[in-house]
Structure 1
């Protein structure tokens, strides 16, 4: 198949697939009202996309970082490897890595199986750290306090070990293994996956896909592994992977994180299951409603969006085709097409703008190893230049609009961005840089003084919460 061929899911109106346009509009309205930052949303019912949206500057044809939603794809690869007879779920983990095994492994480590990795039941009291370049060795050095299979601890290192086992057995990476078996049959092209220092795909995170790719994956699971008449995944595997295999806490009727865990899938309320990733990346499968929901976002509260799904979408899916409602369909289409994340806006440019434009500031020693900062203002925005150990990075910023480009400044690798600027007051300039293939955006406040500059900057989301960093600079002598 031509790799440029785009295979799309069929489209339909909501009413034709038994859900009202108004219920979807209420979902979107509530998301907006509660300021839950979604980047994309796709609802598939009876195999048809009935609603789809990207909040500008995010786009349908761009991939998005999935974080731990990657785990569900790793699990799928293990299911296929098992079907091929290359591994069995009861194989001992330590048996694949004799070169890294401790001289006298504990009984719990010796007993740990591939299945224990899949269900996050490795027996660890906490997730193993992987500080060296050989992550498998780091994993096997960690104490295993509990009997494997009995104790749930969320464990991305365990998923990495699944990827490492697959590569050990097949001689190819997880991504290369999945290309002909999963991605190509689904018409998923351009997938990328981060790797460890040894060239093994990270498994538990690091996959980038487009929103429709996520929806296709969920639809494949909903169809019990069959795609266009071809069986891609064994039905028995899907039944096991998406059923509760281990308890992950006492059930809480208000939470979707205590319903049980399968093979790298979370069980949900309302008979649903999902793969998900940090900061709001979701593939939610609702078998009872014959529906799939794909979402990418930059959220702090992941439960909040699921609550909106259960309140507005899940109960609105009926068994019958609804009468056409042209007015509601037109209204929904208009709402979805108009969704955007606005750039910061300013009332007027600062009077100091012309004085600081193009001035180069030498920066004090800092974590990012940046050496100098300058910003050159133009009628429709500005160009910021930051020089450091990795060369000079230029970022174009719009004035009341987004300007786009590519930068390696923020995450050490090339990322597409949309950036804008606004004056908060006469001396403080606010820069917003959205990394549009990730959940993240960087805010920087630049305060210009008589002899120097003060930079304060932070990310919208992080595993450490909001961390504000500061750098001072002086005008180059």
Structure 2
């Protein structure tokens, strides 16, 4: 008997034979190693699980390090802090919300840094030189991990230069120049924590995880004790489904409005052009996925190794894929192929 059959019987979530048959090619392909080290896959439609399979020893209760999918959680928490009146809005200035010492001890002071807003951090478009995809960038996250104070690391960065081959914000789609910056989301975590007046992990549990029934998430912490909003949160596969489902359902869960509907809509709207194949919302990737002769937009929480939660509105579905493909070449492409070639076709 397969691992999934054992899990389904023990937890009381039997699948219809038809659904199991539809996803059998996906199961076989993963078990054959076609997508390297996939650890779990969950597909839910209309708020119900139609496929769930664990391919490692961890099983359903394992907290899986989904890396930068954590960033999406940071964006949700920022929206909740605004809803709670703790942050005035997306246009609130970051250095007005951070502890005063951040500004007092700042290197490379500049009025343009003072003008950086919460929305700039949510859209990876703050005007500081920070680019995780450029090994020479002063703000590359690998450099951040070498120092003790990760938020001050971000605060000290110089203003980004725009040589001829880099589009200036005014010449870019949505008026924003996108550069993927983990340090900026780390700073956003302290912005939220300072604004709400309680540890970030406690606020997250009270305002988001608790209402969704998510228990004991495993946070990573910066050397000075700040919960890392930029990556590393450990969730069960079903927890990731719940995070995706609440956004697919317009912010509602268990009969309550957990996340403001307007924040969900803004988060899932294009705010910056990130890639040829993706726009960017408020710490959500907006993936452009070819489906037949069309190109559809599927929002995604995504982290290193190809760990991804896809929202599939036209199928009323959430798809969770977790992996340990951290050292594989193009791991996100492996996840994308599993999603588009094996899972999408299996959904009604």
**Interval of TM-score (by shorter of Structure 1 and Structure 2):** 0.7 to 0.9
Cα deviation digits, residues 51-87 of structure 1 (max 9, x gap): 1111231221121112101111111110100111211
Task: Determine the structure 2 residue equivalent to 1:260.
Answer: 279
Whole-angstrom distance in 1 between the partners of 2:199 and 2:233 = 13
CA apart distance, 1:104: 6.9
**In the alignment, which of 142, 146, 160 is matched to residue 157 of structure 2?**
142
Task: Determine the structure 2 residue equivalent to 1:21.
Answer: 20
CA apart distance, 1:237: 0.5
Task: Determine the structure 2 residue equivalent to 1:387.
Answer: none
Whole-angstrom distance in 2 between the partners of 1:182 and 1:78 = 11
Q: Aligned to 1:193, what secondary structure does the other structure show?
A: coil
CA apart distance, 1:11: 4.3
CA apart distance, 1:21: 3.3
Q: Aligned to 1:283, what secondary structure does the other structure show?
A: strand
Whole-angstrom distance in 1 between the partners of 2:13 and 2:237 = 15
CA apart distance, 1:112: 1.1
Residue 77 of structure 1 pairs with residue 81 of structure 2: no
* Conserved? CA contact 1:226–1:233, under 8 Å: yes
Whole-angstrom distance in 2 between the partners of 1:171 and 1:42 = 36
Structure holding more helix per residue:
2
Assess, with a 3 A threshold, how the Cα gap between structure 1 residues 35 and 261 changes in structure 2: closer, same or farther: closer
* Conserved? CA contact 2:130–2:157, under 8 Å: no
In structure 1, list runs of 5 or more residues that go unmatched: 1-8, 252-257, 319-477
* Conserved? CA contact 2:37–2:324, under 8 Å: yes
Assess, with a 3 A threshold, how the Cα gap between structure 1 residues 181 and 100 changes in structure 2: closer, same or farther: closer
CA apart distance, 1:134: 2.2
Whole-angstrom distance in 1 between the partners of 2:253 and 2:228 = 27
Whole-angstrom distance in 2 between the partners of 1:12 and 1:221 = 26
Task: Determine the structure 2 residue equivalent to 1:313.
Answer: 343
Correspondences of 1:13-412 after superposition (within 5 Å): 13=15, 20-33=19-32, 34-87=34-87, 88-97=89-98, 98-101=100-103, 102=106, 105-127=109-131, 128=139, 129-130=143-144, 131-145=146-160, 150-249=176-275, 251=276, 258-268=277-287, 269=289, 270-299=296-325, 300=328, 301-318=331-348
Whole-angstrom distance in 2 between the partners of 1:210 and 1:307 = 23
Assess, with a 3 A threshold, how the Cα gap between structure 1 residues 317 and 57 changes in structure 2: closer, same or farther: closer
Assess, with a 3 A threshold, how the Cα gap between structure 1 residues 10 and 288 changes in structure 2: closer, same or farther: farther
Q: Aligned to 1:85, what secondary structure does the other structure show?
A: coil
Q: Aligned to 1:90, what secondary structure does the other structure show?
A: coil
Moved over 6 A (4+): none
TM score, norm. by length of structure 2: 0.80
Cα deviation digits, residues 247-284 of structure 1 (max 9, x gap): 013x2xxxxxx311111110112321110111122111
Whole-angstrom distance in 2 between the partners of 1:133 and 1:62 = 30
* Conserved? CA contact 2:151–2:187, under 8 Å: yes
Whole-angstrom distance in 1 between the partners of 2:188 and 2:19 = 42
